[in-house]
Structure 1
Amino acid sequence: MKRHHLLATAAVLLFTAPALSLAQTPAPAKTVTEKGQLAQQDMTFAEKAAISDMFEIQAGKLAQDQAKEQGVKQFGSHMVADHTKTSDAMKTMAREKSMTLPTKLDSEHQQKLDKLRGLKGDQFDSAYLQGQMDAHQTAVTLFRQQAENGKDADLRRFAEQSLPTLEQHLRQVRDLRPNVASAAGGAAQQSTSFEKMMGKDVYGENGKKLGDVADIILDAQSGKATQVILNRGGVLGIGAKHVALDYNLLRSDSDRLVARQVTEDQVKQMAEFKYDDTTVSLGKRHGTSSGSSVDHNATGHNTGAAGGDAAHGTANSLDSTQPRNPQ
């Protein structure tokens, strides 16, 4: 009887052992993150990406309204369109994964946006593009790290798919910045190059010195250089004579300026140049009139209506600001 009981007990243990063993074996680690169980790295990425999109959309709308250059306005429009798409995609994933995304900018991005709101024209263009350069460099790094090291498969895929667009934005802003800087910073660049011309010797094609640059006259409407005022002779401005040469006759030759088709005898016969109330000039503004007796105010000699703008206009210049080479 005892033997039958022992056999029955052994049979029960034999059939129940595998079940107990399976029940005690730990479940394998899951490769797909469950809802509400995102790794901290993934959550940080999602939050930063959401804030980045919000900033790009709001800054892009400001660019459409406040930028001066058409290229900046168009870039802002593209940012609104592209980042609205990525923002919508992120929001869809957030719902699926029970993520809570930021609904407003953090203090850092809000401050940047507030600063942009207070700018207009050239100042806005410069600040906006610099901000876009910084923002997209940061975004490219963020998305690349997520694409390579993210834990959540969906967020990795999102980063991989978004990265080419962000890299394209970065290339666009890099290409756009020099063009806008050239237009927006034209006045400053022109001022610097004219400053280099002031006091520079001007020679005839035969190598004889004709004088030195005392001033540059601008067209009151376009702001382009029209004449160069030569200072001839005199000591400390006493006995000096100022004559006007056509700006387009000048060419840059190494470290000197050469006046084409102009001889020393012709210059001697030229009448003294006289300033009047409509003259727009730059010489005195730079304080490099070579000791001449030219008397015009510190912002360039001008009382014409367009003078203030013309004095900061674009020059038809050589070496981007110097007289051109012979035709």
Structure 2
Amino acid sequence: MIVGCKSDQETKQRSYTLVEGPVFGTYYRIKIDSEIDFKPKIDSIFQVINEAANSYVGESEITTFNQTGQLKNPSPTFLGMIKEAQHFQQITNGYFEPAIYPVIKVWRFEEQGASMQVDSSELKELLKLVPMHENIAISDTLIKATKQGVKIDLSAMGEGYAIEGIHQVLSEAQVANYMIEIGGEIFAHGKNEKGNPWTIGIEDPSKAGQNSYENIITKIELVDQGISTSGSYRKFYTDEQGHKYPHIIDPITGYPVKHHMVSVSVKGLSPLVADIYATACMTMGIEKAKEFITSDSDVQAFMVYYEKDSLKTWNSPNFYKTPTQ
């Protein structure tokens, strides 16, 4: 989780417009250096994404696809999202995998007191429904599953996709300064109220839930960049023996991840890429994630993990640099 950093001694030099509220099962907060009312356009972006890709909306396009195995005449939003999803599924070598949805459902994480016992033969059959690029055919007029039972979940990219849409609206309106935050995803442009770069803090997983600006493990300046954090320390299942299972499924094996990484924050020029890569890195584990991040000069990352019961951190070489440095 990422939080904005501030100091009690700071005094705002100017006042930005604040637009905030609930969305996508989380909360959004947008600071805008403008007197223009952007809320209607922001709400419209949220509504369009909900209608396209919210699997909890009964009449959404993704619900139609998941129930029938196809979707005729997809909206530009749903078509754009599923094309991006398929592209990044391949870029991440399958560690970002929207078609793992049936496997996630069989683990029943959402059910209180659910057993962690899953039939291995059932998992083996469900894993035949991935990867999505082999089992979903996409055209501008038809999206069709090539195997019965294929279902997808695009929630891991919804916040990043929404931030990109809001960023485009504000950029086209030539707003000089703004910060967009949805859940654990942030994009910052220009300067904050004091005329300084936006400063973002990354939460210390060992102090999660204390809701204090002092409970951060590191902080960075964001200049025309997005950052996304994914973690395993907030949602997990504990069995009768006290073993913890994170609500993160390895799309390669179909089982909950067993590595020791607890948080990863990915920074880049694209908030959508940061969102997707953070999800992928959390399924990869520390060593594969390091290799993946260092192979792409367009993104940087900060990782928190356990090594012999001690909390350790790692960051890519340019994580603390801004594009102008």
**Bin for the TM-score computed over the shorter chain:** under 0.3
Point out the structure with the larger helix share. 1
Larger RCO (CA within 8 A; separation ≥ 6): 2
TM-score normalised over the length of structure 1: 0.22
Q: Is the radius of gyration larger for structure 1 or structure 2?
A: 1
TM-score normalised over the length of structure 2: 0.22
Point out the structure with the larger strand share. 2
